[in-house]
Structure 1
C-alpha cells in the first residue's frame, strides 16, 4: 500500500454470508478480480490497509481477526481499529464492487470542509438517503473513545451519534452483494461497462448491439460445440456483419447449427 496517506482503511471481510450459503463473499469475483481486491485497490492512497477477516494473498495489507471470528461488525471494527495509526480511518465492507478511489476522495473532501474539523464522521448515503455505515470516514481517536463505552451490537448505535456529515456519492459505491441476485447484477454491470467502452473504441452504436442475443448464441455454441468456439463464432459473425454477407437470421441459423452440432458432424463424418 502507498505510505504517507492521511488516513488508514479498515475493511470488514469476515462475515458469514448466510444469504450466500456461507460462501466467501469478499473473495467472489466481479469482472477480473475478487471484490476484496477491488476495495483494496480503491484505498491505495491509505497509509495502511487493515482487512479484518481470514488472511488472503493481498500484498501490502495487514490482517486482523475479530473475537470470536464472525462475531459481527462491532467486534470486527474493534479489532481493526487496534491496528490504525493514522488520525482518520475509512470503514468499508469487503464486497463493494462499484467502489472507486474517487468515492474515497469525496469522503475525505467532505471531512476536510467541515465535518472533520468538528471532530465528527462522514457517512455515505444510498439513493434512498439511508446511511451506509460500511462506507464512512471517522476521526480515529473519537471512534476509539466511543467503542470503549459501547456494549451494543449495531454499527448504527455506535456511529450514529458521531456523524457530522452525510454524503451522496455518484454511482452506487454503497452497493454490496448480499445475495446471488446482487452478485449477478454486479457482474452484468461489468459487462455493460465493457460493451459500452468496446463499442466506443470500435465506432459502433451500442444501440445496434443485441447483447443478450449474442450471449445466448455464445452460450449455445460453448455448450453444444466447444468453449473456444464461442468467441470464434462471435468474431465470425462480426466479420460477416461488417462485410454485409450475414443473412438477417444469422444468429438464429448459427444457434440452430450449434444445437444440432452432433447430428451435423455425424452426417459429415458419414459422408467422408
Structure 2
C-alpha cells in the first residue's frame, strides 16, 4: 500500500427514509453491521472518525454533525475537524463490498502514484459506478483541499463541494461503490451479489 498517512471519515448518520428510518449503518450483512464492514476497509487509517450516533467500533472517534441529521456537508465538517493526516478517506457507512484494496487504489490515485497528475497529486479520487457516475461518499481526498473547499462553501450538496475539486475518477472491479439505500439493495448485499 502507499506510504502515505491517511485518516478515514465514515458518515454513519442520516435518516434512511427509503429504509423506513432504520439505522442503515447498523443493518447486518454477513453477520456484521454495515459500518463495521466499511471500517474494515480502512485498517491502516491513522484515525477512524465516525460521524453519527455512537457505534461499537473500538478505537474510533465518534462525533456528530451540527445539527444532528443536518446532512452530509455538516457531517463532513464535523468529521474533518478530527482529521490530522494529509489524506482522508471519505466513506458512506453502507458500502458492503468496499475492501482495503479499493481504498489503496483510491489513495494511490489521489497521491498521483498510478498516473502522475499535473503538479503532483490530485485533490482526490472517487469511485465511479457502472454508469460512470461519481460516488462522492467513496473517495480519498487531500485534507487541505477538502478544508479549503469547505471554507468557501455555503451549500448543502456534497456534490456541490466536491465536484469542483475535479478528482480522479476510478472504475474498480467488485462494485465497491454499491450502497444499501433500499431493502432490495440490502437483500442483494446479503446475497453477496450487487446490482
**TM-score with structure 2 setting the length:** 0.92
Corresponding position of 1:58: 57
Choose which of 121, 126, 149 in structure 2 pairs with 1:123. 126
Whole-angstrom CA distance in 1 between matches of 2:67 and 2:41: 28
Contact 2:10 2:93 in 1 (8 A): yes
**CA offsets 1:180-218 (integer angstroms, 9 cap, x no match):** 11101111117x9xxxxxxxxxxxxxxxxxxxxxxxxxx
Q: State the shift of 1:120 in Å.
A: 1.4
Indicate the SS of the match to 1:92. strand
For 1:177 and 1:150, the matched residues in 2 are separated by: 28
Q: Deviations over 1:89-131 (max 9, x none)?
A: 1100000000111100111121232349244111110111000
1:11/1:52 contact within 8 Å kept: yes
The reply on whether 1:146 has 2:149 as its aligned counterpart is: yes
Matched, 1:136 2:139: yes
Tell me which of the two structures has the higher relative contact order, counting C-alpha pairs closer than 8 angstroms and 6 or more residues apart.
2
Q: Does 1:155 align with 2:158?
A: yes
Gaps of 5+ in 2: none
Aligned equivalents of 1:15, 1:35: Cα separation in 2: 14
Residue 119 of structure 1 contacts residue 142 of structure 1 at CA under 8 Å; is this kept in 2?
no
Aligned pair count reads: 188
Distance 1:100 1:164 in 2: 20
Give the Cα–Cα distance (whole angstroms) in 2 for the partners of residues 71 and 41 of structure 1. 26
CA contact (8 A) 1:5 1:47 kept: no
Q: Distance in 1 between matches of 2:90 and 2:161?
A: 13
1:85 matches 2:84: yes
Counterparts of 1:138 and 1:30 in 2: how far apart (Å)? Answer: 27
Tell me by how many angstroms 1:169 deviates: 1.2
2:7 alignment partner in structure 1: 8
- Deviation at residue 155 of structure 1 after TM alignment: 1.0
Partner of 2:42: 43
Secondary structure of 2:14's partner? coil
CA contact (8 A) 1:14 1:54 kept: yes
TM-score by length of 1: 0.66
Gaps of 5+ in 1: 193-272
Instruction: Identify if the C-alpha distance between structure 1 residues 153 and 52 changes in structure 2 by more than 3 Å, giving closer, same or farther.
Output: same
From the two aligned structures, give the one with the greater helix fraction.
1
Q: Tell me, what secondary structure is at the counterpart of 2:192?
A: helix
1:38 is paired with a residue whose SS is helix
Contact persistence 1:5–1:45 (CA under 8 A)? no
Shift, 1:164, TM fit = 3.4
Q: Which has the larger radius of gyration?
A: 1
Contact 2:110-2:142 at 8 Å conserved across structures? no
